[in-house]
Structure 1
Amino acid sequence: MINAHPPLRKMARALRDHPSIRGKLDIAQSTQTLGLSSESAGMPGDDCAVLPTRSGYDLFACEGFINAFVKADPWFAGWCGVMVNISDILSMGGRPRAVTNAIWAPSAQEAQPVLAGMKAASQAYGVPVVGGHTNLRTDALQLSVSILGQATSLISSFEARPGDVVICAVDLRGSYREPFDNWNAALTTPPETLRRNMELLPDLAEAGLVSAGKDISQGGIVGTALMLAESSGVAVDLQLEALPKPGGVEMERWLRSFPSFGFLLTARPEHAAAVCEACEGFGIAASVCGDIGTGSTVHLTDRNGSAPFWDHARTPYLNLSSKEALHA
């Protein structure tokens, strides 16, 4: 593999050290204490807990929000509480059914914009808020939101295989919600389009066109690629110049950004064109932007070379390997 030029190595190092990527390491502390592995009930490591039923799967997920974000933009934090949970359900080929929330605030007045944002998103996406927990006697705003969904066919984090290609699918019709790295393409999209777009991932799952995938979350494209690689026990080569990207956005920021509608998917090469065409039919930009290989390293590649971003065998990210795998 061609060695990277210094700017690419510098970018890979900056991404490794960025708080939005390193924050996911907190998960490993919890999984170790709880004794969880990818083989535990619910398949920890996926974007949702997977609970098999007679007719398919129940999907359950929960998101907690950074206090600084909730304080700085409480209405949008409430909206995101619904939106990002919906993305977790969609990423697994599911359809969302209902959300609940837990909110802490110093007063009802300070809780109001958070709840108003949740209500607006619930109405826009057509996913009801069905209950939750409220405490109006705390010293700071805090928010957690949970969701329930269902799937007949799964898109899992554990099924990427060497020889698959990586496809990035993102709604680019938006802008940053400053000062955070949140790419917002939802608030400018009509509710009927938001609801229609929720059919894309279930359609791909039920057609058998996707082998694995994840929602692009707080760790951005690179953090999500790393979680996918670790869960599946593979290596990923991300080809940066092939990524769908908004004009005028620096690559380093884009690689750590959290889009309102964005997914990393893997597919067999013969299915890649059909996946991209399906995305484009929904107005979602999509392109083949990488390869799945053997090994354990996520590499960033451009026309000047390639740089290692993270080796999950040497430094586990989610730390969900089974005990058997750890000693293999």
Structure 2
Amino acid sequence: MKECTEDMLASIASLRNHTDITDKRTIQQTYKAIGNETKSSVFFPDDNATILLGDDTAAIPQKDGSHLLLAAEGIVNHFLKSDPWFAGYSAVMVNISDICAMGGLPIAVTDTIYSFEAKDNEAIWEGMSAASKAYGVPIVGGHSCYHSNINALSVSILGKATHNLLSSFDAQPNDALLLAIDLKGSYYKEYPFWNASTTTSSEKLQKMAQLPYEIANNKWSKVAKDISMGGIIGTLLMLLNTSKVGAEINIESITKPEDTTWKKWLSSFPSYGFLFSCSPEHVKNIQSLFTENGINCDHIGSINQQPDLFINYKEHQLKF
């Protein structure tokens, strides 16, 4: 779908006020409540270490140098009501993605589910079970209430990473910025969600989940962020915030589905999508790993010292 330069620039500028992107900017409210870092539990004094707050997944250092990973996702009510099977599936899938973005591997998930009565949750359970089976990550417990005055779902996940961790805290000026997305999918119904998960084999999904882990343990990168609500732009803004850096990206370096507008693609949520920053010498290694596994990986720009996001399109540049 072709767009003239003026329309393209207007589309990019309009993303500044996109609800999902502005939601990413308001994450600072959370920091006001709990701060930017904390300490390990007092019940494990030998593992006492600082835990940085700001990634989608908490990385809890262990005495042996590894990291326990802990994350949680809540599902918005309108999604749960309109598409309960896919809401259940997505709750498990996005948690797994959060663990992978840390260079870790998932261990197990738990859930918290509320409904008016048990039959209201049948489709949700079917969706969660389908994702659990597809990704090979068990549901091991949680909490349920079948006499509530609301329908609600959240899922938590436990994972593990070795000594080599990916996070969104370590992007450095002059790093290359890479975008990896599984493009072999399509939009799911009317949602801004690029679905390349439910149509992919379990073997493939499980292999893809291990690729960031390989990148971390080959020491090709220390920085990753999974693309979530707010899409490429919203996710990048969060990464820049935690690393206290800026970036310059080139729209024409980003591969998108042919019949999708740039405005929609830049704010879409892909089922498999990650941003990485790395030393320029490791760009080819990372791109080759993804290409060998059928994943598109674009070199879209670079990290800058100045804490702003600049978006280039043809001869134009917008400060975001």
Structure-2 residue corresponding to 1:142? 152
How many angstroms apart in 2 are the aligned matches of 1:8 and 1:306? 12
> AA paired with 1:28?
Q
Which residue among 250, 274, 277 is the counterpart of 1:239?
250
1:67-78 alignment, distance < 5 Å: 67-78=77-88
How far is 1:26 from its partner?
Answer: 4.3
Matched, 1:109 2:119: yes
For residues 150-192 of structure 1, the C-alpha deviation after alignment (integer angstroms, 9 at most, x for no partner) is 0011011011101101000000111111221111100110111
Between the aligned partners of 2:209 and 2:222, the Cα distance in structure 1 is: 19
Q: 1:10 maps to what in 2?
A: 10
Could you say which structure has the greater relative contact order, defined with CA pairs below 8 angstroms and 6 or more residues apart?
1
CA displacement 1:221-268 (0-9 Å, x = unmatched):
001111111111111112111112222111111111110000000111
The equivalent of 2:42 in structure 1 is none
Equivalent of 1:91 in 82, 85, 101: 101
Whether 1:47 and 2:46 are equivalent positions in the alignment is: no
Q: Which moved more, 1:93-102 or 1:107-116?
A: 107-116
1:215 to 214, 226, 245: 226
* Cα deviations by residue, 1:80-119 (Å, 9 ceiling, x for unpaired): 1110000000001000000001111111111111111000
Contact 1:100–1:130 (8 Å) recurs in 2: yes
- 1:326 is matched with none
CA contact (8 A) 1:8 1:306 kept: no
Q: 1: CA distance between counterparts of 2:129 and 2:7?
A: 44
Q: CA deviation at 1:33?
A: 2.2
Answer yes or no: is the 8 Å Cα contact 1:298–1:308 preserved in 2: yes
SS of residue matched to 1:20? helix
Which residue in 2 is equivalent to 1:250?
Answer: 261
Amino acid at match of 1:144: S
Question: Is structure 2 residue 31 aligned with structure 1 residue 31?
Answer: yes
SS of 2:228's equivalent? Answer: coil
Unmatched segments (≥5 aa) in structure 1: 310-328
Q: Distance in 2 between matches of 1:163 and 1:12?
A: 24
Distance 2:278 2:38 in 1: 23
**CA distance in structure 1 between the aligned counterparts of 2:298 and 2:285, rounded to whole angstroms:** 11
TM-score under structure 2 length normalisation? 0.91
Do the aligned residues in 1 keep the contact of 2:173 with 2:305 (CA within 8 Å)? Answer: yes
**Contact 2:182–2:272, Cα closer than 8 Å, also in 1:** yes
In the TM superposition, residue 6 of structure 1 has moved relative to its aligned partner by 4.6
Q: Secondary structure at the match of 2:200?
A: coil
> Do 2:103 and 2:215's aligned partners in 1 also have CA atoms closer than 8 Å?
yes
In structure 1, C-alpha distance between the alignment counterparts of 2:316 and 2:122, rounded to whole Å: 50
1:175 aligns with 186
One-letter amino acid matched to 1:121 = A
Provide the rounded CA distance (Å) in 2 between the counterparts of 1:199 and 1:83. Answer: 14
Q: Is the 8 A contact 1:87 1:215 kept in 2?
A: yes
Seen in structure 2, the aligned counterparts of structure 1 residues 38 and 164 have a Cα distance that, compared at 3 Å, is farther
Runs (5+) with no aligned partner, structure 2 = 40-49
CA distance in 1, matches of 2:318, 2:38: 32
Contact 1:161 1:293 in 2 (8 A): yes
Contact map agreement 2:186 2:195 (CA 8 A) in 1: yes
Does the 8 Å contact 1:155/1:212 carry over to 2? yes
* Aligned-pair Cα RMSD in Å: 1.4
Report if aligned partners of 1:50, 1:57 keep a CA contact under 8 Å in 2.
yes
Within 5 Å, give how 1:53-64 maps onto structure 2: 53-55=62-64, 56-64=66-74
Structure 2: distance between partners of 1:177 and 1:106: 27
- Give the C-alpha shift of residue 38 in structure 1: 4.7
Question: For residues 226 and 114 of structure 1, what CA distance do their matches in structure 2 show?
Answer: 32
Q: Distance in 1 between matches of 2:72 and 2:111?
A: 9
Out of 291, 296, 302, which is 1:291 matched to? 302
- Is the CA contact 2:24–2:235 (under 8 Å) kept in the aligned structure 1? no
Determine the structure 1 residue equivalent to 2:45: none
- The corresponding residue for 1:158 is 169
Report if the CA contact (8 A) 1:169-1:244 is conserved: no
- Write out the 4+ residue segments of structure 1 that deviate beyond 6 Å after TM superposition: none
Compute the displacement of 1:9 (Å): 4.4
Select between 21-30 and 265-274 the one with higher mean Cα deviation. 21-30
